[in-house]
Structure 1
Amino acid sequence: MQKNFKRNNNSRVSDIELNSVDAEKENKESQNKFFELLPLEIYIRIFSQLDMRSLCRASMTCKRWNRTIKTTDSLWKPHCLAVRAVCRREIDDDLKSGYSCRDTLRRNYQKSKVKLEWLSGRYSNICSPVSLPEKIMYPMDAETWGEILEAELKRYVQKSQSDLIPLRL
């Protein structure tokens, strides 16, 4: 008789487990249906609040989100304009050439990071090419190097002037 009790008890446990798994499945399905029923405008409104990294991660969630994020240029425009602060010429040229904000951002993001570090003087103390950190370098055109050289010359002139000791008469 005790054996039957154990069997019944075990079957009840497995029934409870199956019921909880079924309930969890139904809950996920209803959540998925809820997200599928949201209008596109709501998705775009939510996505527009995300930073660039979160936007990229959200695009990996499902095909619908990926397609929405990939094809909605207005989501990428603020991020593109932020990079434009450093790479104005490059961004303007790409946008005039017909690239989307997303593609323009993809083409110029890494360059903007490296260029910003150069322009801010991070590499001003480097004396030889061996000292350059290769892993973060990015190929740049002659005009970009010209901008960097101008910034370096201004820094050099300012430093030279501040090193001069004023003469008192």
Structure 2
Amino acid sequence: MKLLLTALLVAVLIAVLFPAVLSWMARPPRTGLEQGRMRPCPDSPNCVNSEKGTDREHSIEPLPLKLEARQAWALLKEAVALEGGRILEEQPGYLHAIWTSRWFHFVDDVEIRLDKAEGLFQVRSASRAGYSDFGVNRKRIESLRQRWQALQEEAGR
């Protein structure tokens, strides 16, 4: 009985402390633009980026505009909210939002930059903690893409 109680206590402590330790270990986000572009992804496979010059492992397609930039921007912000993101920073042509996982409260940063010259939105999604994200950031951007395209099509009718 004593062994069972000890094991239970250890399990509870791990369950409570594990997320706290991971939050403490999570690196602060390096977000924002460098020379008008989003920062490159780190070597770890927990980031995707649509900026030109991104290596194959981290590369993802940008979001093409089908509407006027101002209307597309408003719909993009709506898509971010509908997909569970919370916008932390918005500047003309730049948006920084976060997604927080349900169980361990991992935080991922999503950045979006209006690329007027190319007529699209460049996107970057990166985990703050850990090495691998099991494809979560790529799936997030693809889900955001689908939501945003549906909103654009609906608005274009």
TM-score in same-fold range (> 0.5): no
TM-score, structure 1 as length reference: 0.26
TM-score, structure 2 as length reference: 0.27
Using CA pairs under 8 Å that are at least 6 residues apart, name the structure with larger relative contact order, 1 or 2: 2
